């Protein structure tokens, strides 16, 4: 069984705002140190940022307006913790304690990702989807429920659409917070670390991406651990793992694009 949400889900909206702010930091310097938390819903967007670079409120408000609409922005920006900053002062080192797992994507995960993408292309509104074998549950706002049920039944699924009835969705209906949809982002690779709203020095970002990609390449489950200050992980300099993650993020179009669907 697997769950997927689309980019208009309130949690993904929060992830995308956080990702866009990280993108903004990377526009200023090649290796910023930044962590962003976002809580958005019911007309308010609260953002807390720890950062090594200066960010203009006007630019952050513009990001919120573009992604989430006319929400009131409550913003708190503080410098990165001085001890964490010192840890990175002599070169890239692991910025988190954590355990990480990469798991090859199953057919079920690939199938649901495809379904989620094609539904979102037709209905670009808040939606959530669950697949268990051939049992498909579609919760899609602002959609033709009968049309979706007919289409996916004909595709061979046992389909339930909007079991609680039609709905409108979005941040006026529900709140969203960063890194609250880890299963949707990572599939069965999920452990404890969220990949959104952080720079590449953070293991939650780079080691999660590295482990996931290695699992897809080898077809085997990858399990890794690290501690703050580690210069070597999985027998590789931490800086090399960061570069693997950097290349992937750049390939998908940046941190905001990464936030839209996660790693699959």
Q: What is the pLDDT of residues 61-113, one digit of tens each?
A: 999 999 999 999 999 999 988 877 777 777 788 877 899 999 999 999 999 99
Q: Which residues make Cβ contacts (< 8 Å) with residue 53, sequence separation at least 6?
A: 25, 28, 29, 32, 34
Question: Looking at the domain assignment, is residue 167 inside a domain?
Answer: no
Q: Which residues contact 225 (CB under 8 A, 6 or more apart)?
A: 98, 99, 100
Residue-wise pLDDT tens digits, 4-21: 999 999 999 999 999 999
Apex 224 CA angle, 3 and 219, nearest 5: 60
Model pTM?
Answer: 0.96
Sign for the pseudo-dihedral over CA of 118, 122, 127, 133: negative
The pLDDT of 154-159, averaged and rounded, is 98
Q: Look at residue 170 and tell me if it is in a domain.
A: no
* Percent of all residues in the chain with a pLDDT value above 90, rounded to a whole number: 91
Look-up of token digits 């310097």: 29
Residue 187, in any domain of the structure:
yes
* Domain end (from 139, 161, 183): 161
Measured CA to CA, the distance from residue 43 to residue 58 in angstroms comes to 18
Number of domains the chain is built from: 3
pLDDT value, residue 90: 73
Whether residue 92 is contained in a domain is answered as no
- What percent of the chain has pLDDT above 70? 100
Average pLDDT, integer, range 50-59: 96
Lowest mean pLDDT among 13-22, 38-47, 80-89, 170-179: 80-89
166 belongs to a structural domain: no
Q: Does residue 151 sit in the same domain as residue 190? A: no
Q: In terms of domains, do 189 and 157 share one?
A: no
Each residue's pLDDT tens digit, 113-148: 999 999 999 999 999 999 999 999 999 999 999 999
Residues 181, 230, single domain; the answer is yes
| Residue 262 counted as domain residue | no
Residues 65 and 111 in one domain: no
Give the mean pLDDT of the chain. Answer: 95
Q: Which two tokens stand for residue 180?
A: 């609250």
Do 94 and 228 contact (CB within 8 A), yes or no? yes
Domain extent for 16: 10-87
Domain-embedded: residue 134? yes
184 plus 248 within the same structural domain: yes
Note the pLDDT of residue 25. Answer: 98
Q: Mean of the pLDDT values across residues 212-221?
A: 98
Query: Do residue 23 and residue 53 come from a single domain?
Result: yes
Tokens of 37: 């938390």
At 177 the pLDDT is: 98
The answer to whether position 21 is within a domain reads yes
Q: Which residues lie closer than 8 Å to 140 by C-beta, 6 or more apart?
A: 119, 123, 125, 127, 129, 148, 161, 162
Task: Clarify whether residues 135 and 182 are in a common domain.
Answer: no
Same domain? 184 vs 219: yes
pLDDT confidence tier of residue 46, bands split at 50, 70 and 90? very high
The reported pLDDT for the residue numbered 89 is 72
CATH number at residue 37: 3.30.300.10
Q: Is 81 found in the same domain as 20?
A: yes
Tell me the pLDDT tens digit for each residue of 185-205: 999 999 888 999 999 999 999
């Amino acid at each position: 069984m697997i769950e997927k949400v689309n980019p208009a889900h309130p949690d993904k909206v929060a992830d995308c705002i956080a990702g866009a702010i990280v993108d903004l930091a990377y526009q200023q310097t090649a290796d910023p140190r930044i962590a962003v938390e976002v809580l958005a819903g019911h007309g308010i967007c609260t953002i807390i940022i720890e950062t090594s670079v200066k960010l203009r409120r006007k630019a952050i408000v513009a990001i919120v307006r573009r992604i989430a609409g006319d929400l009131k922005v409550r913003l708190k920006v503080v410098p990165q913790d001085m001890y964490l900053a010192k840890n990175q002062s002599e070169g890239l080192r692991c910025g988190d304690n954590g355990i990480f797992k990469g798991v090859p994507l199953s057919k079920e995960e690939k199938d649901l990702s495809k379904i989620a993408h094609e539904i979102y292309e037709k209905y670009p509104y808040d939606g959530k989807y669950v697949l268990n074998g051939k049992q498909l549950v579609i919760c899609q706002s602002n959609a033709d429920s009968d049309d979706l049920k007919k289409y996916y039944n004909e595709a061979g699924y046992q389909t339930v659409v909007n079991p609680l009835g039609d709905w409108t969705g979005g941040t006026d209906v529900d709140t969203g917070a960063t890194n609250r949809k880890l299963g949707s982002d990572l599939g069965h690779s999920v452990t404890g670390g969220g990949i959104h709203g952080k720079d590449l020095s953070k293991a939650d970002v780079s080691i999660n991406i590295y482990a996931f990609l290695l699992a897809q390449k080898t077809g085997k489950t990858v399990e890794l651990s690290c501690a703050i200050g580690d210069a070597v992980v999985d027998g590789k300099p931490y800086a090399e793992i960061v570069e693997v993650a950097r290349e992937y993020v750049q390939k998908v179009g940046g941190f905001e694009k990464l936030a839209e669907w996660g790693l699959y």
